Amino acid sequence: MRATACATLAVLLLLSATALAAEQVERFQQRAVLGTTRLFISSTVTTLSSAPGRERFRVTGSLAILADNVPPFHADPWSVIDAGVGSGGVITDITAIDITSARLAYLAGKPQADAVLLWMACGANCGGDSAILTYDVARHTYVVASWVRQQGWDTIPYGTFVRVEPHRDVLATHVPGPFDDCHACLPGVVPVYYAVTGEHIVDISRRFPRALAADAVAAWRAAQHESSGGDPTDREIELFRYLADACRIGSCDAAWRRLEATLPGNDTKDALARMRGAIDSGGYGNL
């Protein structure tokens, strides 16, 4: 009897150790200060199951924004970023997740800074997503800013940085074009600039004609380099970058003529058709 009890206890201890090993806990903290605004985020990701195809995580956390002359704001950071969290804070269909950064910037030109939250999740691929909290003067609280129009992406990609401008800051980033096969794998090459108007994230790329003109020149040179023995897909990526830049500074017709004269052949016709479809969709810098 005693031997049986000892064996049973050994099995229970083994199962308990296995469960504890499965429930790995990761804790993340993010802080940011800008002017009189302070942002604090504490989040926890608990691995409930790491078995392939049956991954399950529980996420918890707290977010606080403190600024002078406005009520303190408190929220669940996972609800703010809309990470698809289910009942009990459990999230599935991913292999990893965490909030990678928290920033403050004057994207709306208000005295209260805006909070930019970036997070990453992995599944078949790893990809980033985002949320921006902006202060609503009428409601005296922070709200999640929404995207004005769907542009083929509603996220802020990797490599995004805050560009400090005289009247309000700007989020500068690069988005993928129609020749980027894996949008989750690449940061993209087409430059885009975002700000916040009211409660909306808006594309203000056309306000930076010099930056776009310089990028168009660089893109054309890169395409010529790829033409001399490089990957045809890389050339098409750079040519679309050139086209998207040119169209946003009012030189779309001239850019099309230059492309058609430079790229004869049936393969090029297919590439031009894809470029025209992307441009006509209006998804690159308010074209």
pLDDT tens over the chain, length 287 residues: 445 444 444 444 444 444 444 579 999 999 999 999 999 999 999 999 988 888 999 999 999 999 988 999 999 999 998 878 888 899 988 888 888 889 999 999 888 999 999 888 887 777 777 889 999 999 999 999 987 654 545 566 666 788 888 888 999 988 877 776 655 555 678 888 999 998 898 888 899 999 999 999 999 999 888 776 667 788 888 988 999 999 999 998 999 889 888 776 666 677 778 887 777 766 665 55
Count of C-beta atoms within a 10 Å radius of residue 122: 14
**Average pLDDT of the chain, as a whole number:** 82
Which contiguous run of DSSP H or E holds residue 246?
Answer: helix 232-248
In a domain, 154, yes or no: no
Within this chain, do residues 47 and 137 fall inside the same structural domain, yes or no? yes
Q: Answer positive or negative: Cα dihedral of 108, 110, 111, 117.
A: negative
How would you classify the pairing of strands 96-105 and 114-122? antiparallel
In a domain, 170, yes or no: no
In a domain, 71, yes or no: yes
Query: Tokens for 136?
Result: 């609503």
* CB burial string 33-60: b at 16+ within 10 A, e below: ebeebbbbbbbbbbbbeeeeeebbbbbb
- Which of 123, 144, 165 terminates a domain? The answer is 144
Within this chain, do residues 29 and 139 fall inside the same structural domain, yes or no? yes
Whether pTM > 0.95 for this model: the answer is: no
Q: Which domain holds residue 249?
A: 211-280
Cβ contacts of 19 within 8 Å, gap of 6 or more? none
- Which of 144, 163, 184 terminates a domain? The answer is 144
Nearest to 219, CA basis, from 284, 161, 125: 284
How would you classify the pairing of strands 161-163 and 146-147? unpaired
In a domain, 125, yes or no: yes
How would you classify the pairing of strands 146-147 and 200-203? parallel
In a domain, 122, yes or no: yes
Within this chain, do residues 139 and 216 fall inside the same structural domain, yes or no? no
Cβ distance 201 to 132 under 8 Å? Answer: yes
Within this chain, do residues 126 and 28 fall inside the same structural domain, yes or no? yes
Please count the structural domains in the chain.
Answer: 2
In a domain, 160, yes or no: no
Sequence length of the chain is 287
In a domain, 123, yes or no: yes
Listed as own residue / partner, the contacts of 149-152 with beta carbons closer than 8 Å and 24 or more positions apart are: 149/282, 151/175, 151/203, 151/282, 151/283, 151/284, 152/281, 152/283
In a domain, 171, yes or no: no
Quick check: helix, strand or coil at residue 133? strand
At residue 11, the pLDDT reads 42
Count of C-beta atoms within a 10 Å radius of residue 94: 16
pLDDT by residue (tens digit) across 149-196? 545 455 666 667 888 888 889 999 888 777 766 555 556 788 889 999
At residue 265, the pLDDT reads 65
Return phi, psi of residue 27, to 5°. Answer: -120, 135
Within this chain, do residues 136 and 216 fall inside the same structural domain, yes or no? no
- Which of 144, 165, 194 terminates a domain? The answer is 144
Within this chain, do residues 134 and 30 fall inside the same structural domain, yes or no? yes
Within this chain, do residues 119 and 227 fall inside the same structural domain, yes or no? no
